[in-house]
Amino acid sequence: MQRYFVGITGASGHAYAEALVRALVAAGTGVDLCVTPSGLKVLRHELGVEGGSADALAAVLPAWLGRDVAPSVRVFEPDAIEAPAASGTALIRGTILCPCSMGTLARVAAGFSSNLVERAADVALKEGRTLCLVPRETPLSALHLENMLRLARMGAIVLPAAPGFYHHPKCVDDLVQHVVGKILDRLGLAHARAARWQGELEPPPEAGAEPHVRGGTP
């Protein structure tokens, strides 16, 4: 089974990480998961998931992600330098940092690996494997943008958590799945997580016959 490494940091947007792990398993892959200390705090705040350690988080995986998902997920501590993703010989298929804080992004851009999440990203870069960073921050400073540009030039995928609205989302999960679908597309994994653009402008069903367009052409 091919495996992906998912690193969860202290940035807001943990609903994206939750949906991503489920989607990766549904696509037939395994997931090596690592949550930073700051990420654990945000995970508790945003999703109500309690996991003070890797073992504690692994214990709640069935309740959190589902009993069908949990067996395909391995959880590692941030200081687990022995984890497979810390070595290029482990052949981890790709690394996704979702959501990716600006601090983590800066350290990855500088090649400064202070934990397993950052080391996994460093390994992906040096081995020429897929590295996808999903920042969720606004507004962006010049420093943030420079770090993103530096990583993009190294071959990383910078995929901000910025959902579209052309598919007429009905709920928050529709917005989340839109971003997750974008990630899966860049990983080359087949999915049906989000509606694809069909080349036609259609109004939402409840909007009547007139297209909902402001300020001219979309």
Closest CA to 130 of 92, 160, 180: 92
**Cβ within 8 Å of residue 96, ≥6 positions away:** 4, 5, 6, 7, 20, 131, 132, 133, 134, 183, 187
Q: What value does the mean pLDDT of the chain take?
A: 92
Banded model confidence at residue 25, pLDDT cuts 50, 70, 90:
very high
Q: Give the residue with greater pLDDT, 199 vs 179.
A: 179
Burial of 191 (0-12, 13-18, 19+ CB in 10 A): middle
Domain boundaries, the chain: 3-207
Q: Which of 1-10, 65-74, 90-99, 192-201 has the lowest mean pLDDT?
A: 192-201
Q: Which pLDDT belongs to residue 207?
A: 55
The mean pLDDT of 116-134, rounded to a whole number, is 98
The mean pLDDT of 158-184, rounded to a whole number, is 94
Q: Which pLDDT belongs to residue 217?
A: 40
3-state secondary structure of 157: strand
Whole-number percent of the chain with pLDDT over 70: 94
Q: Domain spanning 3-207: which CATH class is it, in words? A: alpha beta
Give the amino acid at 208: G
Q: Which pLDDT belongs to residue 202?
A: 76
